[in-house]
């Protein structure tokens, strides 16, 4: 079997690799060639941690496996990232363990790839202002990936803790984009594309703040009770997601669904747009919203790429169990 370290993942997997892998697996999901298994996610009663498993099988790409990991809120004080994960890949023909792959960097880059795919397929071609709601560890990955999909001229950003915004501003400066910290109302009034990546449990973006033609990628809501968007905003938008079943239960649409503002039939899998079976955006005034809940197949797709590239470049360890 192969062992692919975090360091090796960062060395061999770039944003383009992650984009292609995630786009491909979304396509396979929509066409019925890939499916996620039920998610297990538990509070373990120790260190305030959430721990679980995401798994699935991509028949088209012949990728089978699981991601094991979770969220440890005290890790930053220990010099570690709060999210910790590892991906296990199995040979779908034999069931043998094929690769053990570090999952922290891959989780960040696959999450950014998902919002980036949604921007590529749903945002207006003339989008010029990128809005960022959130400035944590994941926000920099999101900003870099989004900037490659449209000719943005400016970044406006808001965060619960304003002292974290300069770090995101440094990323914007590095890629050559002017950066401004603003209040949420101004962000909504200016931004053509908005990415939210927070752990909020209350709406941060209200319907009346969002201008016509905006594309929103809500990437932080992945647990029952979490929320980033006003349910009225979700109801006013044309909604797309990675997986409909997950969106309605733990994703951004859970609140609009529970209030009876939308139904499951109002949500479209982003893979249908990729495959050309749904037109996607229908006008320059339509508000589109991508609910990125994060599915196990994303992790398996990028981990499979990491294992292949690491092996091809002689950077993977080979061990015998």
* Dihedral sign (CA 22, 26, 32, 35): positive
The string of DSSP codes covering 97-155 is: EEEEEE-HHHHHHHHHHHHHHHHHHHS-TT--EEEEE--SHHHHHHHHHHHTTS---EE
Q: Collect all residues with Cβ–Cβ distance below 8 Å to 150 and sequence separation of at least 6.
A: 119, 123, 125, 127, 128, 130, 192, 193
Is the CB of residue 267 less than 8 Å from the CB of residue 240? Answer: yes
Q: Residue 61 is encoded by which pair of tokens?
A: 């790409």
* Residue 189: CB atoms within 10 Å: 16
**CB–CB of 290/217 below 8 Å?**
yes
Q: CA 183, CA 195: separation in Å to the nearest integer?
A: 15
- Contact of 193 with 119, CB cutoff 8 Å: yes
Q: How many CB atoms lie within 10 A of CB 176?
A: 8
Establish whether 67 is a catalytic residue. Answer: yes
| Catalytic residue list | 67
């Amino acid at each position: 079997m192969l062992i692919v370290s975090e360091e090796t993942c960062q060395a061999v997997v770039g944003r383009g690799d992650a984009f292609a892998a995630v786009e491909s697996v979304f396509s396979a999901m929509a066409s019925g060639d890939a499916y996620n298994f039920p998610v297990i996610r538990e509070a373990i009663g120790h260190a305030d941690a959430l721990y679980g498993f995401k798994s699935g099988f991509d028949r088209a790409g012949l990728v089978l496996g699981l991601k094991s990991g979770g969220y440890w809120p005290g890790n930053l004080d220990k010099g570690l990232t709060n999210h910790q994960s590892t991906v296990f890949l199995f040979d779908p023909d034999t069931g043998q363990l094929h690769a053990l792959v570090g999952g922290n960097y891959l989780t960040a880059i696959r999450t950014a790839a998902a919002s980036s795919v949604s921007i590529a397929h749903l945002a207006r071609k003339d989008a010029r202002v990128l809005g960022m709601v959130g400035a944590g560890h994941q926000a920099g990955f999101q900003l870099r990936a989004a900037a490659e999909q449209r000719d943005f001229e400016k970044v406006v950003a808001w965060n619960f803790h304003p002292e974290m915004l300069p770090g995101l501003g440094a990323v914007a400066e590095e890629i050559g984009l002017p950066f401004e910290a603003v209040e949420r109302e101004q962000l909504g009034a200016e931004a053509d594309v908005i990415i939210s990546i927070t752990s909020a449990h209350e709406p941060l973006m209200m319907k009346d703040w969002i201008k016509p033609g905006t594309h929103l990628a809500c990437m932080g809501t992945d647990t029952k009770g979490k929320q980033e968007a006003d349910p009225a905003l979700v109801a006013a938008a044309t909604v797309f997601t990675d997986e409909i079943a997950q969106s309605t239960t733990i994703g951004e649409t859970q609140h609009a669904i529970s209030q009876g503002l939308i139904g499951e039939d109002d949500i479209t899998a982003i893979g249908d747009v990729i495959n050309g079976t749904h037109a996607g955006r229908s006008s320059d005034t339509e508000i589109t919203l991508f609910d990125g809940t994060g599915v196990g197949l994303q992790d398996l797709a990028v981990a499979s790429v990491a294992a292949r590239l690491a092996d091809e470049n002689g950077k993977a360890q080979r061990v015998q169990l």
